[in-house]
Amino acid sequence: MNTHTSNSEKALLTEALFSNRIQHVPRSFIREILKVAVGKDMISFAGGLPNPQLFPVAELQESCNRVMLHTGQDALQYSNSEGYLPLREYIAQRYWQQQKIRINPVNILITSGSQQGLDLLGKVFINPGDRVVIEEPGYLGAIQAMSIFEPQFIPIPLEADGMYPEALNEACSRHSPKLMYVVPDFQNPSGQSYSDSTRKRIAGIVDQYNLLLVEDNPYSDIRFAGQRKKSFYEWLPEKTLLLGTFSKTAVPGFRLGWIVAPDAIMEKLIVAKQAADLHTNTFTQQVLFDFLTHNDLEKHIARIAHTYGAQCQAMTTAIEDHFPAEVTFSRPEGGMFLWAQLPPEWSSKKLFDRAIEQKVAFVPGAPFYVNKFNDSTLRLNFSCTHPDTIRKGIQVLGELLTLQRN
């Protein structure tokens, strides 16, 4: 390269080298927002993080020490791509204890968070132009992970009790999708869950087509109201790829998740996993397994659910008190998010700009939609904010919304 090439020319030359697949995948919009939403005096409903005050730091420190002391050399060595067998056995046993779902540990692949599960599924199934059904609004991380493989997304609106089955049936017969991606419990971003009857009808439709269902379930354990619903896996074990994670029930920083898949798919996923990173972090797998065998996970999860339940309650009550009546919102029974719908002529982006000036942040709904611009929805996260602060922040948003109305 000529020594007189300017920086902007260099940038253009580099641009020409990028693959098609990365060119069109946007940076995470939420990460961009979070840059604006930091600051000590900011009330932020914009994040999507589990509450760090609930991380079992002391217990994990003890587990680290035990692992180093007893199996240090093994825990620091390369390992197998499928994952640490005792951890896979623990996951299988917990599916049985909690949901009476029988899963063979050989059908569980440990991944670097469930986010890696999405990437591996993309590698195994998606050719450019393949159709993938997703929820609208949909989980941004899944949209981003799959976009790398250049699918054609077929978005289906999410109703209060899940995707509308007739819309799915029509999409399947018109577009022959290969995959369908759903977050059936306390969805990110909407906080909505599928009812049992919708699950059953959707499972019946998926069964009629040559289509696999990806059930991403990071939040189902964090339930603070209502009863646990049946997993799609119970209806369609051969056609459901179940994604799970310890990010919301233990810690996200260990990056430990998993995929449950039938034998033939498991084989391909292992190839993709080997090509991606050989195997998931051995040390954190062993430390987490030690933590799980020395502590009561269910008690820990109950504490998380109790805390998030109180935060969610503070948020819904404050919304009822302060938001104009035209604004509707979801009432999640678990998870970390709540979704608000403004009248179509109001702008959540305008609200965002004004709210930031008043030191309150949230995520405008637009990036959760593919193939469509929607400026009248917003996502509110409650997991990291004290109920008193939630009430203050919602009051500010309520006052700004009342101004938009006038």
Ligand X SMILES: Cc1ncc(COP(=O)(O)O)c(C=O)c1O
Contacts to ligand X by CB under 6 A: 48, 113-115, 139, 141, 183, 188, 216, 218, 245, 247, 252, 257
Q: How many CB atoms lie within 10 A of CB 361?
A: 23
| Residue least distant from ligand X (Cβ) | 113
Enumerate residues 6+ apart whose C-beta is below 8 A from 27. Answer: none
Q: Which of 166, 158, 162 minimizes the C-alpha distance to 137?
A: 158
Q: At what angle do helices 85-99 and 282-294 cross, to 10 degrees?
A: 40
Which residue, 125 or 219, has its beta carbon nearer to ligand X? 219
Which residue, 323 or 337, has its beta carbon nearer to ligand X? 337
Which residue, 216 or 221, has its beta carbon nearer to ligand X? 216
Q: Reply yes or no: is the peptide bond before residue 344 cis, omega within 30 of 0.
A: no
CB of 104 to ligand X, least distance (A): 22
CB of 67 to ligand X, least distance (A): 21
Measured CA to CA, the distance from residue 343 to residue 347 in angstroms comes to: 9
H-helix or E-strand containing 134? strand 131-136
Measured CA to CA, the distance from residue 147 to residue 21 in angstroms comes to: 8
Q: Is residue 159 helix, strand or coil?
A: strand
CB of 348 to ligand X, least distance (A): 20
Q: Is residue 137 helix, strand or coil?
A: coil
Measured CA to CA, the distance from residue 184 to residue 181 in angstroms comes to: 10
Length of the chain as a residue count = 406
DSSP 28: P
CB of 210 to ligand X, least distance (A): 25
Which residue, 247 or 385, has its beta carbon nearer to ligand X? 247
CA-based R_g, the chain, Å: 22
CB of 114 to ligand X, least distance (A): 4
Which residue, 146 or 318, has its beta carbon nearer to ligand X? 146
Measured CA to CA, the distance from residue 136 to residue 205 in angstroms comes to: 19
CB of 6 to ligand X, least distance (A): 40
Which residue, 219 or 283, has its beta carbon nearer to ligand X? 219
Residue type, 60: L
CB of 69 to ligand X, least distance (A): 28
- Is 183 within 8 Å of 217 (Cβ atoms)? yes
Which residue, 118 or 211, has its beta carbon nearer to ligand X? 118
CB of 252 to ligand X, least distance (A): 5
- Is 238 within 8 Å of 211 (Cβ atoms)? no
Which residue, 191 or 364, has its beta carbon nearer to ligand X? 191
